[in-house]
Structure 1
Amino acid sequence: MNIVVSVTGGIAAYKTVHLVRLLTKAGHEVTVVPTEDALRFVGTPTWEAISRHPVTTSVHDDVAKVRHVALGQAADLVIVAPATANSIAKMTAGLADDLFGTTLLATEAPVLIAPAMHAEMWRHPATRANIETLRGRGVHIVGPADGELAGGDSGPGRMSEPEEIFAAAQALLAPRDLEGLRVAVSAGGTREPIDPVRFLGNRSSGRQGVALAAEAAARGASVVLVATNIAGDVLADARHPSVRIVTAGSAAELADAMADAAADADVVIMAAAVADYRPVAVSDRKLTKESGGIPSIELVENADIVASLVAARRPGQLIVGFAAETPEDQDELIARARRKQQRKGVDLLVVNEVGWERGFESADNAVHVLGPDGAIAGEASGTKRAVASAVWDAVSDTLSSDRT
């Protein structure tokens, strides 16, 4: 999606840097349009580096492309953060004396503003009247929060946190095609203990599963995310009022948690990387070199979680499996995926190629989605949030075809 982030001249502009990062990380193309005053707080190099696009405030730059209206015309969403009292007044009056103003007048996309000002300014009748006028025009408003303000005083007027603004933006952008659905998603990688210190595990960061949970929530679903050994900063991307997070560690714990989560779910997605084997015996004490010799670890096969979910599925429940493969070429990748889909009995199967520098622990991914008939129902590459969107598109299409 093309998003314009308009930054106006308030101290809260520093928080908007993180908002832009969240938006770009989610796969959106972000153009920052600051006012001249905004650049007194955060400079042009920062905005260009974080958005990966050139930044200007003037209507006289890039005239050949009619930039002063083209940005607004091409936008899928315009965000104003922070929205100062002055910028809110200008929006209400329809002033267009800079790129900020012309972009807002030229867009037909949804507009989301995050007010930020001192409490007295927020409570002033002029600001209140302007806010109500903008609401009447369909402008969406997030915040402000009640808290500490610049100068040490506190009260209403603090700009909402970047994560809250991001969630509001995602809700405006996402199709609500999953409204009312209950979804269970697993994410991360299981760990099979050897002793109190060591385990057998894998390199899954959980980013793809977290992205799937966040995207489902943005599209209206109620989500249970079963998180296996995911770092806090990664898991933070799934924080949403419609996402309930359950933690698990080993494959056995994941199996139990997913059985509970899937019991009343309409869609189940097994994105977690599950250990195929676990040690037969787990030592109560750390294995040390002082014990003598090289320890031998006997392994036993873990239960197939996907197969158990398929066996216990409710009528109408849709189950999606994941496969990470290291094939010789694309033909072998798809062939392996089709065999796994038949063997597991899942409705959809998402397959990606992994390696030392792709798939696991990476910010990006590239997948093929196999439909119920084994044909390729979708392909996607890019950020893991963009891939998650494509997976849910395929799920939504499958659910729609099942109803007709």
Structure 2
Amino acid sequence: MNLKGKKILVGVTGSIAAYKSALLVRLLIKVQAVVKVVMTDSAKEFITPLTLSVLSQNPVLSSFTDKDSETWNNHVDLGLWADAIVIAPATARTLSKCATGNCDDLLTAVYLSARCPVFFAPAMDVDMFHHPSTTRNISALAAFGNHFIAPEFGELASGLVGDGRLAEPETIVSELSAYFSQKSVAQYKRVLITAGPTLEPIDPVRFISNRSSGKMGYAIAEAFAAAGASVTLVTGPTHLKTTNRNITRLNVESAHEMFEVTKEHFQQHDLVIFAAAVADYRPAHVATQKIKKQGDELLLELTKTEDIAGTLAGKKRADQLTIGFALETEKEVEHAIGKLRRKNLDFIVLNSLNDPGAGFAHDTNKITVIDRDEKIHEFDLKPKEEVAQDILNIVLAKWSEA
């Protein structure tokens, strides 16, 4: 375990699963973490503050003021104190409040004040968990950079069977430990990521581009930055913004600009991920004035753009990792392996446009990762933030081997 001395704030909300928070706190103390507990008022209906106070060896807080001592429980100080916050159980109501910034109690105010990683462990009935509003709130919180510890499948308090059981306390502690292990591996690494589309001008008002939103590349950047890596993001035109201070963003437009900027920074990074959807061709001649409509046809002469991944990965150091992306519509694995070999990549991430919910513009993705030994790792359709975590975990495992 990597939790010795880590300051963990446990948030407990009003779910029947709140009884498990006692064991969670006990396990955290057992691995020598420092624990403070913040409860919502509704959580007190399921477990007493006294129980959690004895187990955590700290007073349990639930309001902004302590009426007996007339002291102020400063939510900002609590948010800055913690190395990690884990809200377990996290009810549908709490997820909604955190997703929308509705901080009407101490716990949600601490969440909004936190600068540390926050882990949500949902617990609710199966239909509540799968309701579109809950799914939307989870997606929003994941997009903010929060982490989720998935509920388990089983019999629920309602008598129904399905997803919604709070993850076992041992699982939650293991997830926290894994996070801090990842951070120790990644925190000294430098990661270069390309993302988004490129824009190839035809004239001052028209251009050639593609449907890439940049969401996948940005999610990967956020995942590596949250794990402690120093990230340089070379991005084509997109409306997306970065949130982590470990990310340095470099804006470009054309494939040529992306090539030049990526080439400039390539050698200084331990890992390079080519996630951008770079245009394969650009107009051979760019008109200096707007092209007027004349006749029934307009013929454009196109010329190839630079092969950014192929050119740079061919010059990589022995200790440098490179990851490419392949978006295919037929013979997906065959074509992806060909690209992996041809461009001298260590991994290739395959997307298929034949998979519903994958590819451009979606908030979800379904990937297959293939390594140099042609070992295939297949993943289910999931939010792009979770896909980014899968890619992060593969790289962390590779770094750990080294």
- TM-score, normalisation: structure 2: 0.63
Q: Which residue of 1 aligns with 2:256?
A: 252
Give yes or no for contact 1:71–1:103 (8 Å, CA) kept in 2: no
Structure 1's 226 and 90: CA in aligned 2 closer, same or farther, altered over 3 A? closer
Question: CA shift at 1:385, angstroms?
Answer: 1.0
Offset at 1:299? Answer: 0.5
The match for 2:287 is: 283
Structure-2 change in CA distance of 1:125 and 1:361 (3 Å): same
1:199 and 1:133 mapped to 2: Cα distance? Answer: 50
Q: Which residue of 51, 76, 97 maps to 2:44?
A: 97
Aligned-partner residue type, residue 234 of structure 2: V
> Is contact 1:6–1:100 with CA below 8 Å preserved after alignment?
no
1:309 and 1:382 map into 2 onto residues whose CA distance is 30
Q: Secondary structure at the match of 2:381?
A: strand
In the other structure, the counterpart of 1:126 is 71
The 8 Å contact of residues 266 and 318 in structure 1, kept in 2 or not, is answered as yes
Cα pair distance change 1:132/1:357, threshold 3 Å = closer
Alpha-carbon distance, 1:362 to partner: 0.2
Query: 1:262-283 deviations in whole A, cap 9, x for unaligned?
Result: 2200000000001111100111
Corresponding residue of 1:239: 243
Q: Distance in 2 between matches of 1:245 and 1:346?
A: 24
In the alignment, what sits opposite 2:348? 349
Q: Please show how residues 111-122 of structure 1 align to structure 2 within 5 Å.
A: none
For 2:100, the equivalent position in structure 1 comes to none
**1:182 corresponding residue in structure 2:** 190
Cα deviation, residue 227, structure 1: 1.1
For the 8 Å contact 2:190–2:268, the answer to whether it is kept is yes
- Write the distance in 2 (CA, Å) between the matches of 1:230 and 1:129: 38
Aligned to 2:398: 398
Partner of 1:340: 339
Aligned to 1:97, the other structure's residue is in SS state helix
CA distance in 1, matches of 2:323, 2:117: 25
Aligned AA (2:327)? A
User: More displaced, 263-272 or 94-103?
Assistant: 94-103
Q: Structure 2 CA distance, aligned partners of 1:224 and 1:277?
A: 25
Write out per-residue CA displacement over residues 336-369 of structure 1, whole angstroms, 9 at most, x where no aligned residue. Answer: 1111111111011110112686310000000011
User: TM-score, normalising length from structure 1?
Assistant: 0.63
- Post-superposition CA distance 1:75-115 (Å, at most 9, x none): 9xxxxxxxxxxxxx9949x9963248679939x99x9x999
Query: After superposition, where does 1:362-377 map in structure 2 within 5 Å?
Result: 362-377=362-377
Aligned to 1:219: 227
Do the aligned partners of residues 162 and 245 (structure 1) sit closer, same or farther apart at CA in structure 2, a change above 3 Å counting?
A: farther
**Alpha-carbon spacing, 1:287–1:389, altered in 2? closer, same or farther (3 Å):** same
For 1:114 and 1:218, the matched residues in 2 are separated by: 28
Give the letter aligned to residue 248 of structure 2: R
* TM-superposed deviation, 1:167: 5.1
| 1:226–1:257 contact (8 Å) kept in structure 2 | yes
Q: Number of paired residues?
A: 304
Q: Say whether the 8 Å CA contact 1:214–1:239 is kept in structure 2.
A: yes
Instruction: Deviation per CA, 1:225-246: give whole Å up to 9, x if none.
Output: 1111111xxx22x321111011
Q: 1:323 to 1:164 in 2, by over 3 A?
A: farther
Answer yes or no: is 1:303 the counterpart of 2:306: yes
Asked whether the 8 Å contact 2:192–2:232 carries over to 1, the reply is yes
Distance 1:364 1:292, change over 3 A: same
Aligned-residue identity in percent: 29
Q: Deviations over 1:34-78 (max 9, x none)?
A: xxxxxxxxxxxxxxxxxxxxxxx475xxxxxxx332477689xxx
Q: Could you list the runs of 5+ residues in structure 1 that have no partner in the other structure? A: 8-32, 34-56, 60-66, 76-88, 142-149, 151-157
**2: CA distance between counterparts of 1:242 and 1:298?**
42
Which structure 2 residue ranges, 5 or more long, are not aligned?
1-8, 26-35, 87-102, 120-144, 148-175
Partners of 2:195 and 2:38 in 1: CA distance: 43
CA distance in 2, matches of 1:343, 1:103: 63
CA distance in 2, matches of 1:103, 1:211: 41
Which position in structure 2 is the counterpart of 1:230?
Answer: 238
C-alpha distance 212-131 of structure 1, shift in aligned 2 (>3 A): closer
Distance 1:130 1:284, change over 3 A: closer
1: CA distance, partners of 2:250 / 2:314: 22
Change (3 A) 1:131 1:319: closer
